[in-house]
Amino acid sequence: MASAGSGMFIRVEVDEPTASDAEAAQKLAQVCPVDIFAASDGRVEIVEANVDECILCGLCLDVGPTGSVRVVKLYDNDALLAKS
Domains of the chain: 3-80 (3.30.70.20)
Say if residue 49 is exposed, middle or buried (CB neighbours under 10 Å; 0-12, 13-18, 19+).
exposed
- pLDDT for 20 equals 94
Specify the pTM. Answer: 0.88
**Mean pLDDT, the chain, integer:** 90
Beta strand 37-40 with 43-46: parallel, antiparallel or unpaired?
antiparallel
- pLDDT for 82 equals 84
